[in-house]
Chain A
Amino acid sequence: MSNIQPVFIALQANNDTLPIIEAICSDNPQAQVNEYPAMVKINCPGRMVIRRSSVEERMGRDFDLRELQINLISLAGEVDESEDEFVLFWKA
């Protein structure tokens, strides 16, 4: 069975997260961006990846994926984190 259950990540809506959101949208064509007051929630069916290289390209500086912690509001899905990728996914 394919992974179709949605995962999500919610970030504070601010200048730090703009390039992160752009990177997510570019690396995950199925991502849907929902804007709420002060908060951006991105849903994606099955799997979502945040790539360090994509974020760095847009930020124009080095980025440690653990910096996500600062502006993270919530997430859904299992997490697999390495230096290069932060992945949310469901196995079912």
Chain B
Amino acid sequence: MAADGDLKPIKKLSLKENYALLTRGLGWEPTYEKKEEIFRTIDFEGIKIHDWEKWEDPFRLTMDAYWKYQGEKERKLYAIIDAFQQNNGQFNVTDARYVQALKLFLNGIVGLEYASHRGFNILGREFPGVGPRIAAQMQAIDELRHATTQIHAISHYNRFFEGMADFPHQFDRVWYLSIPKSFFEDAVSSGPFEFIVAISFAFEYVLTNLAFMPWMSGAAFNGDMSTVSFGFSAQSDEARHMTLGIEVIKFLLEQDPDNVPLVQKWIDKWFWRGYRLLALLATMMDYMLPKRVMSWSEAWTIYYEENGGALFADLARYGIRPPKYADVTIKEKQRVSHEMWSIFYSVRNAVGFPVWLPSAEEMDWFSEKYPDTFDRYYRPRFEHWRELEEKGTPFTNMTLPQLCQVCQWPCIYTEPDDPTEFVHRETEYQGETFHFCSDGCKDIFCNEPEKYVHAWLPVHQIYQGNCFPEGADPTAPDFNPLVAALQYMGIKPGVDGGLMSQHVDASRWEQWTSRPANLHEGAITQAVRKTT
């Protein structure tokens, strides 16, 4: 740069100036199109914004820093994934049961990352303010990165274990995966403000710590270097997204007092919907980690009751109260994982991963962690089921469930004050009956029935005959609709579900590692007995 040698160097901009240029300097007022024609979805929800310039992005991340640090995160992540793969890391996890949780993660969660990518792209187009638009665009890129790194990291497991090969197919069709899928479709088909309150605030700020902190720490504890690395790499973006979430809430509440009741309603709705979605995670934490860091109940205490408590104490100054039915989540924390694992066990032939009964050691851990519920309600059930397994007649439920019209879980939940009584909630809308798993889901329906009357409920679709593989002949004499429905979903009977002790992942694990597939129950093949 000899020619410019005499020029004084330009003064380096401060972080705040630099960010202001990016988010304000690059925006413009339209002249030949009307603003309301460009931003068509910004008014119908009833949110009032008077001044988009009041938007503050606390991280003030500029593009140069964004690419630099994201690039660095990727290099770090791939260095670890490479090392993991080169060193047969898949065989160094605690046991073959751990791998089953990854199937739930890949089939059920990765699709959400991609859906989130789409949702934030829409926001990046729909928001008139430049600051939130840029934040949404960066987040859209982040979410795509999460989906791709997760797929890439888990693809290595797919070379050795069943049940991971067809994840997009399963995400779209498997009965219990309609729960995460419909959650995000509900959000993305809302208006832009509801979407960002739903995902950035209620889901990411209030709830995702549970997924990425204790669960990923648990993955590390079980030796899964690959998963913990993509988990923490994703979560480092998540910290930025969470901050966006709280910024959104403050911005909406400060713009107009009329926004307060709308935001409160969305917080109530999306806290409850997110909480119901996390029931899957409760089960993964309590039942699918062979070595455990903390129980679901402890995690809920720390990450919702303590940290969420601090958050809602802070928001009280705007007139926002903690989410409706938060008290129910606290009552349910002692049982939700046990209720959920029970149903996965009893319908094990219709799920995409094998299941097992908790070992004696694990039941003792549950007794300690769940002193008010486990010995009273669940230990006797598991002991009864163990006897039946030993007799060769394991307990099986062959009948499809009544589903909740909103969250799409089967109505598995019990009364907040009585774990022995099923919850029954129903309503009639335009002459038709609709059922719900809880007051929380019933409220959501009653607020917006037209949004849920056309929910694609897997059980009803199966009974309508809409879930059969192409070429199936329902009039054939030997036609079995449930077997056909499993084929349609991509679940292979005898390969994907069933009992862990009879599963091909378990026998291969023992051949390849010479270690028991279930570290508490001893070997099931000669491959281990020979060496121990």
Spell out A's residues near B (CB within 8 Å).
5-8, 10, 12, 36-39, 41, 64, 66-67, 69-83, 90-92
8 contacting pairs across A/B (C-beta < 8 A): A37-B218, A37-B293, A66-B61, A74-B213, A75-B242, A78-B314, A90-B310, A92-B314
**Could you tell me the distance in whole angstroms from the C-beta of B69 to the nearest C-beta in chain A?**
5
Within 8 A of A (CB), among B228-271: 228, 232, 235-236, 238-240, 242-243, 246, 250
- The answer, yes or no, to whether B369 is at the interface (CB within 8 Å) is no
**Could you tell me the distance in whole angstroms from the C-beta of A14 to the nearest C-beta in chain B?**
10
- The answer, yes or no, to whether B317 is at the interface (CB within 8 Å) is yes
- A74 B69 Cβ-Cβ under 8 A: no
For the complex, give the distance between the alpha carbons of A37 and B221 in Å: 6
- B60 A81 Cβ-Cβ under 8 A: yes
- B310 A72 Cβ-Cβ under 8 A: no
Spell out B's residues near A (CB within 8 Å).
14-16, 58-61, 65, 69, 72-73, 76, 209, 212-214, 216-218, 220-221, 228, 232, 235-236, 238-240, 242-243, 246, 250, 293, 306-307, 309-311, 313-317
- A71 B236 Cβ-Cβ under 8 A: yes
- A66 B236 Cβ-Cβ under 8 A: no
**Could you tell me the distance in whole angstroms from the C-beta of B231 to the nearest C-beta in chain A?**
9
- B221 A81 Cβ-Cβ under 8 A: no
Across the interface, B59 reaches (CB within 8 A) one of A7, A73, A76, A79, namely A79
- B307 A80 Cβ-Cβ under 8 A: no
- B317 A74 Cβ-Cβ under 8 A: no
By a CB distance below 8 angstroms, the chain A residues around B61 are 66, 69
- B58 A81 Cβ-Cβ under 8 A: yes
Across the interface, B228 reaches (CB within 8 A) one of A38, A74, A79, A82, namely A38
For the complex, give the distance between the alpha carbons of A51 and B60 in Å: 17
**Could you tell me the distance in whole angstroms from the C-beta of A79 to the nearest C-beta in chain B?**
4
By a CB distance below 8 angstroms, the chain B residues around A10 are 213
Across the interface, A76 reaches (CB within 8 A) one of B214, B240, B293, B310, namely B310
By a CB distance below 8 angstroms, the chain B residues around A70 are 69, 72-73, 76, 236
The 8 A-B pairs at the shortest CB distance, nearest first, are namely A38-B220, A5-B310, A79-B58, A37-B221, A92-B314, A37-B220, A90-B314, A36-B217
By a CB distance below 8 angstroms, the chain B residues around A72 are 235-236, 239
